[in-house]
Amino acid sequence: MKRHDDIWIMAAQCPSRLGTVDVVTRFLKERRCYITEQQSFDDRLSGQFFIRTEFRPEEAGFDADTFQAGFAERAAEFEMSSELTPPGRLMPVVIMVSKADHCLNDLLYRYRTGQLPIDIRAIVSNHPDLASLSEWHGIPYHHFPITAETKPEQEAQVWRVIEESGAELVILARYMQVLSSEMCTRLSGRAINIHHSLLPGFKGARPYHQAYDKGVKLVGATAHYINDDLDEGPIITQGVEPVSHADYPEDLVAKGRDIECLTLARAVALHVERRVFLNRNRTVVFQR
């Protein structure tokens, strides 16, 4: 969903303390900024407070640097950190893929039609298969093959692309390689992965065929930030789709692909709109 051209976003968090909402709303009122949307959450277990505000300056000449400096001074007593996002900003991203193209195709469509406020700077893959798709969209495609022996060199190439492109977010759109601990640390909080989510869990090859053999009634997908534990990073969003005895393995695969696309796109949208906050090993997510 595209935001209005005059709407700014401020996302902030701090230790739980009396006056946290007031410091945000009072400052905005004093600066003649009209709040159009606000969500907040106080986590009594972690002792952390989170707030996201969309606002519209009521007077011309709004200066972001002056605004941020003034708010930082006012919020210092709350140990509050904040981030300000201007209207219409497109977050620079790099997408990593292997051979499966369904998530990549979906992201490219949403990017091309303006449904996602992102700027895809590059696509990185360990296979050459999707180069033509990238070329059609005019996006640089980097093919970096990988083996167990060349993994450090390959990840160094990937990291170089991320740094040189200025990417603030990395999307693993069915990238079928396990990232090293070092790469996971470098990308902490700014890399989103998508994978199937089935109950019971089926690991290894052909998970949907395993699910069919067990007669599952739901298939799903999980989008999460990466960490050093495979597929166990902080969850951003999940999706499910009912299936029945009439669905064969190929039907489960098709439904699984659809829900993977939708779940990943939702997670990316939530992240770039500053609706997701890391809270220890969990996330606070202010829904759209």
Residue ranges of the chain whose pLDDT lies below 50? 1-2
User: What is the pLDDT, as a whole number, of residue 81?
Assistant: 97
User: What is the pLDDT, as a whole number, of residue 160?
Assistant: 97
CA distances from 256 to 10, 35, 56, 104, 123 (A): 35, 39, 40, 15, 23
Catalytic residue ranges: 231
CATH superfamily membership of 91-285: Formyl transferase, N-terminal domain (3.40.50.170)
Q: Do domains 8-85 and 91-285 have the same CATH topology?
A: no
- Give me the helix-helix angle, 249-272 and 102-112, nearest 10°: 40
Domain boundaries in the chain?
8-85, 91-285
Q: What digits encode the pLDDT tens for the residues 224-253? A: 999 887 778 999 999 999 999 999 999 999
CATH architecture label of 8-85:
2-Layer Sandwich (3.30)
User: What is the pLDDT, as a whole number, of residue 169?
Assistant: 98
- In the numeric block, the tokens 């390689």 are attached to 177
The edge-to-edge listing of strands for the beta sheet with 191-196 is 141-143, 118-125, 91-97, 169-172, 191-196, 218-225, 235-242
